[in-house]
Structure 1
Amino acid sequence: MAISKIGTLTIGQAPRSDITPILDAVLPAHVECLHAGVLDGLDDEAIAQRFAVQPGDAVLTSRLLDGRAVVMGKPAVGVAVQEKILWLERQGCEIIVLLCTGEFHGLYSNNAWLIEPDQILPPTLNALVGSRRAGILVPLASQIASELEKWKGAAVTPVFAVASPYTATDDEVAAAARALAEQGADLILTDCMGYTARHRDICARHVAQPVILSNQLLADLLRNLL
């Protein structure tokens, strides 16, 4: 199966200057990549109207083209993600890669190979960690409750710390890494596509635990498909 065109889908605005270099590094020269975002072409008012967090909503955060972070209600994002998947498929994308680690239920494509990080990362990390304890770095404190459900398959319940990849200072990222280490984490996973090598390097300077970037892990797996 020779793949000639893939699509990536961020829940923010594309292209993601923080993520696309990681993906570009694994793409063969013959593979075209189309980047799309749920918030493409939308201004602040349109984003607020369509994706405002409603009472009881789980929340997601992503990045705009100007580097600002935006927080959105997950149900509205899920609807828009599905619309964009079908749009990418109509553009001829044979593989569609979702650039978000959040859980979305019921996503589908008609023919394209849909790759969802939330289907890949938990079982992969659980198999890697085994009976050790994982430390999960998340962007928002309000996400921890849903994260506990996401990682319920772990042999040992993970521990969590918060530092947004979009707004946290270096000191805040370092403090979050130390908090995970102090809670007994044997390994740290950055559970958001927005964390980059900069965040990994900050953690590495302050703790001994290995740090796994979710976007790099996804790119490494994608490399094998292509």
Structure 2
Amino acid sequence: MSASLLGTLTIGQAPRADITPILEEHLPAGVECIHMGVLDGLDRDTIARRFPVLPGEAVLTTRLLDGSAVILGKSAVREAVQAKLDQLEQLGCRTIALLCTGEFHGLGCKRAWLMEPDLLVPPVVTALTVERQAGILVPLPEQMASEGAKWRALARPPVYAAASPYGSSAAQLTAAALELKAQRADVIVMDCMGYTEHHRRIVREATGLPVILSNALLARLLAALL
């Protein structure tokens, strides 16, 4: 098992052309990557059958190889994520990064070092904001409630707005950013792996506020570990 072999797991289809360049920008030279996705090799009909959105269930959204987005029922995704983590370990990955900021419970690896954004990003944001107001940008309005528990350590309850990285226009993203600013946010957290530096620049220019890009933060932490 090579210490320089990194596994990445998206809940969509791999490789993620929007995320991997951000990782590669920060990773040390010589790190090899195996990219895997929960939806690899599946068509839309199969995805709908295997990951249905059930009434009252939390949802996740992700990207397919063609650039389009799908919405998944979270409970079915969790079991598939664990199965893929097991596969990446069997392939020799010593470190595995989950490319999803959704909150999962009970994931684990036998030997690999698992990097879960939902366990990493909130504590960093909590330490950075202290008493300041955090604004959380999520892809779907439903996620304001379903993914809110991971921010419970913040000194002040966060404010929310929604704009998907997979289909929202620049105008829609700007409107969501300004909504957070109107709610007196001091810093904006882009709480989805699908947001890119392009999205961050739009939000920054619209608001003038500091903007934390979750995947860039994960990449920096991975670089420090590797």
TM-score, structure 1 normalization: 0.98
Q: Deviations over 1:142-161 (max 9, x none)?
A: 11112332211110111000
Aligned ranges 1:113-132 → 2 under 5 Å: 113-132=113-132
Q: TM-score, normalised by structure 2?
A: 0.98
- Cα deviation, residue 56, structure 1: 2.2
Helix, strand or coil at the partner of 1:25: helix
Q: Percent identity?
A: 60
Whole-angstrom CA distance in 2 between matches of 1:25 and 1:3: 19
Structure 1 outlier segments of 4+, above 4 Å: none
Distance 1:186 1:76 in 2: 36
Deviates more, 1:173-182 or 1:25-34: 25-34
**Over the residues paired in the alignment, what is the CA RMSD in angstroms?**
1.2
1:148 aligns with 2:144: no
* Matched residue type, 2:71: V
Aligned to 1:189: 189
* Alignment partners' CA distance in 2, 1:74 and 1:99: 15
Aligned to 1:21: 21
Instruction: Provide the rounded CA distance (Å) in 2 between the counterparts of 1:198 and 1:122.
Output: 22
C-alpha separation in 2, matches of 1:184 and 1:127: 19
1:89 and 1:95 map into 2 onto residues whose CA distance is 9
Task: Give the secondary-structure state (helix, strand or coil) at the position aligned to 1:93.
Answer: coil
CA distance in 1, matches of 2:202, 2:52: 32
Instruction: Specify the SS of the correspondent of 2:81.
Output: helix
1:71-220 matches, within 5 Å, as 71-220=71-220
1:65 and 2:69 are equivalent in the alignment: no
Matches of 1:98 and 1:91, distance apart in 2? 16
Structure 2: gaps of 5 or more residues? none
Equivalent residue letter for 2:31: V
